[in-house]
Homo-oligomer: A and B are copies of this chain.
Amino acid sequence: MVNKVADEPQLLSKKAGCNTHGQDSSYFLGWEEYEKNPFDAITNPSGIIQMGLAENQLSFDLVEEWLEKNPDALGLRRGAASVFRELALFQDYHGLPAFKNTDARCLAQALARFMSEQRDYKVAFDPSNIVLTAGATSANEALMFCLADQGDAFLIPTPYYPGFDRDLKWRTGAEIVPVHCTSANGFRIYSGTAFSEPGFVSVLEVLAARAPLATEFALDDRVHVVYSLSKDLGLPGFRVGAIYSSNPAVVSAATKMSSFGLVSSQTQYLLAALLGDKDFTRRYLAENKRRIKERHDQLVDGLKEIGIACLESNAGLFCWVNMSHLMHTRSFEGEMTLWKKVVFDVGLNISPGSSCHCSEPGWFRVCFANMSAKTLDVAMQRLGEFVQTSSCKAAPAALRRAAGPARSMSCPLAMNMKWALRLTPSFADRKAER
């Protein structure tokens, strides 16, 4: 007879039960606070303003205008005929090639061209190297599963997106080794939103430029790009991401894995039409960049007026903002104390650098493209009042002088946060390890 025990038997797996998911990072805690008390100019004017969300809400009118003119893309029609049946049934079964269906090929083709257009056609993306996934989150994880065994590590430059701890490590068992970059090299990133020169340079462009030279190792099949439409087109809800690789083994493995997160065929149909319209994408990319720059400048100028400096940036939907002079101690503890004040007292959800594994205390990630210009004004006004009050309370002058960016470290690898390169040890290296 089996003894009855009062213990609740463990149900969840170790992975599901552990905290690698990283949900208790201050990044996500700030989000939770925002969700409890969200700002609304009319219904909740004292609520928290969400500046922790790198989302692009600036150019929806351009997409809406296109949708009005192209009702077939939403209506699942091709001229007079409905494509509903075709789309309802389409899926890339079991990782076999979907050569029956032209719409899926279509999205990969349109996406490849759109990615090339963003690089001013300096790099040609081959549609057959694209694996579609349900967003970049899914793409990032699938790429880790393709490349990493349990315990293998990836180098990621800091500050990096806190979600990477979940996306890259949680279920895969892979590790992240942060490569600590400093403000001196500018914490840089995003391709399609680059709004000033010199813009984003893809590692693929560098490789393309090197291609004529005989290289000892074919490096281009070791570069794998993760892309999504969430930032560049502002469509996170539609869940469209992609892995791009010139390595056939990676493309094949990732294609098989893509069955765990395929893109809805309804959404593929819509976006293949949208991205296939060259006139639209040209106009969108130019106008979107102009608007992002405008909003970015509004933030930078607003901060400048109240004595807060930003790292110069040329792309993306947020700025790295230096608030170390507002901290009472130049430490990560001081950063957390200041952050709590900004969230709870000032009512702005910004993300502390420490949540992004930043190695210098005092930096905050502040997003600007997910709100109206008016809301950004409210945010600047609140921050201005807070700075004034804080200054009266007198942070030590010596600390204020020391607030410039530290320059003692340099980043050993210039990496785009959106791709990961596995540094596989050579056979000789492995032998030496034994």
Contacts and interface: CB of A to CB of B under 8 A. Distances in A.
A264 B247 contact: no
B16 A88 contact: no
Given A5-B426, A171-B145, A426-B5, A261 B57 contact: no
B94 A166 contact: yes
Contacts of A63: 84, 88
A429 interface: yes
Contacts of A28: 94, 96
A237 B9 contact: no
Interface string A18-31: 00010100001001
Contacts of A193: none
B253 A266 contact: no
B57 A85 contact: yes
A74 interface: yes
Given A85-B57, A95-B21, A239-B91, A260 B260 contact: yes
A146 B267 contact: no
Contacts of A102: none
A215 interface: no
Interface stretch (A133-141, A279-287, A324-332, A375-383): A133-141
Contacts of A307: none
B239 A11 contact: no
Interface stretch (A147-155, A203-211, A291-299): A147-155
A181 interface: no
Chain B CB count within 10 A is highest, among A32, A166, A171, A260, for A260
A424 B145 contact: no
A10 interface: yes
B134 A239 contact: yes
Given A76-B74, A256-B166, A266-B266, A249 B11 contact: yes
A260 B261 contact: yes
A120 interface: no
A2 B256 CA distance: 36
A239 B3 CA distance: 45
Contacts of A249: 11-12, 16-17
A422 B23 contact: no
Contacts of A247: 11
A283 to B, nearest CB: 18
Interface in A47-89: 55, 57, 60, 63-64, 67, 71, 74-76, 82, 84-85, 87-89
Contacts of A212: none
A198 interface: no
B267 A234 contact: no
Nearest to A95: B23
Contact of A16 (B60, B145, B429): B145
A428 B89 contact: no
B32 A96 contact: yes
B260 A137 contact: yes
A5 B427 CA distance: 7
A111 interface: no
A171 to B, nearest CB: 5
Chain B CB count within 10 A is highest, among A71, A85, A90, A100, for A85
Contact of A88 (B4, B21, B235): B235
Interface of A: 2-5, 7, 9-17, 21, 23, 28, 31-32, 35, 38, 55, 57, 60, 63-64, 67, 71, 74-76, 82, 84-85, 87-91, 93-97, 99-100, 134-135, 137-138, 141, 145-149, 152, 163, 166-167, 171, 216, 222, 234-240, 247, 249-250, 253, 256-257, 259-267, 270, 422, 424-429
Q: Which 8 A-B pairs have the closest CB atoms?
A: A237-B265, A261-B261, A264-B264, A16-B253, A90-B237, A264-B267, A5-B427, A9-B424
9 contacts: A2-B428, A13-B148, A13-B152, A16-B147, A16-B250, A35-B100, A67-B76, A91-B135, A91-B239
